[in-house]
Amino acid sequence: MSQAHDAQQAHEGPIKTPKQLVLTVVASFAIPILIIVLLIVYVSNGAKKGAGSDAMTEEAIAARIQPVGALTLNVSTGSGVARTGEEVYKAVCSGCHAAGTLNAPKFGDAGAWGPRIATGFDALLHSALNGKNAMPAKGGASDLSELEVARAVVYMANDAGAKFPEPKAPAEAASAAQ
Ligand code: HEC
């Protein structure tokens, strides 16, 4: 008799009232769902590695597989567009030609430029590209393209009274081939 009573006790478990039963049923649904929701949040917040994530964009792949030490090409034309004569003048040539430093022919000084302009554009360009006395080759900015130097020469010379035509891009191709 007492054995049967023990067996009944063992089957009773912790749930003793209907309220506890309801709570247990609700909890047995809610807790797994909460865990799943938390797992989804955890997975979607973490660094995504699979297809469809940022990790598989071309940039990300290129960044991962790039060799050690990137090579940066110093292209003289910067944005890929040759600078205008005015831009080159302001960036480089004005260093001397604005004030006439080192006896450079001053910008806009027709008297100083006149005899030089008379030698012709090609002679001036030759001086600007290769240097002349205190005038350094390409004004010291060796990254300038031939076209950019030519434009700067035209910009300065024309301001001092010359009527040189704008240099054309083929000079650029020629300098790129050097
Ligand atoms: C470091 C100073 C300096 C800078 C920078 C400079 N020049 Fe000059 N430039 C001179 C001097 C000095 C002369 C006069 C050279 C001479 O005739 O003895 C000169 C002369 C020239 C002449 C006349 C050459 C001739 O045959 O008479 C041209 C054209 C010229 N520069 C173009 C340029 C251009 C284009 C730039 C910019 C890309 C530039 N220079 C930047 C100092 C400079």
pLDDT value of position 117: 96
What is the Cα 72 distance to its own chain's centre? 11
User: Which tokens go with 114?
Assistant: 């006149």
CATH 3.40.50.10190 for the 85-176 domain, yes or no: no
For atom 3 of ligand 1, the residue with the nearest CA is: 96
Q: How far apart are CA 89 and CA 152, in angstroms?
A: 6
At residue 40's C-alpha, the angle toward residues 36 and 43, to 5°, is 135
Its pTM stands at: 0.62
pLDDT at residue 66 greater than cutoff 80: no
pLDDT value of position 148: 94
Residue spans of the domains in the chain: they are 2-65, 85-176
Model confidence pLDDT, tens digit, residues 103-133: 999 999 999 999 999 999 999 999 999 999 9
User: 104: Cβ below 6 Å to ligand 1?
Assistant: yes
* Average pLDDT of every residue of the chain: 82
Q: How far apart are CA 135 and CA 34, in angstroms?
A: 78
* Residue to mutate, 135, 144, 155, ligand 1, most ligand atoms under 8 Å from C-beta: 135
The residue written with tokens 């240097």 in the block is 131
165 CA to centre of ligand 1 in angstroms: 19
pLDDT value of position 49: 62
For atom 29 of ligand 1, the residue with the nearest CA is: 124
Residue 163 · residue 118 · CB < 8 Å: no
pLDDT at residue 87 greater than cutoff 60: yes
If one compares 12 and 118, the residue with the highest pLDDT of the two is 118
pLDDT value of position 42: 84
For residue 159, the one-letter residue type is D
Supply the DSSP string of 80-123, one letter for each residue.
Answer: TSPPPHHHHIIIIIHHHHTTTGGGPPPTT-HHHHHHHHHT-HHH
User: 125: Cβ below 6 Å to ligand 1?
Assistant: no
Q: Could you say which DSSP state residue 144 is in? A: S
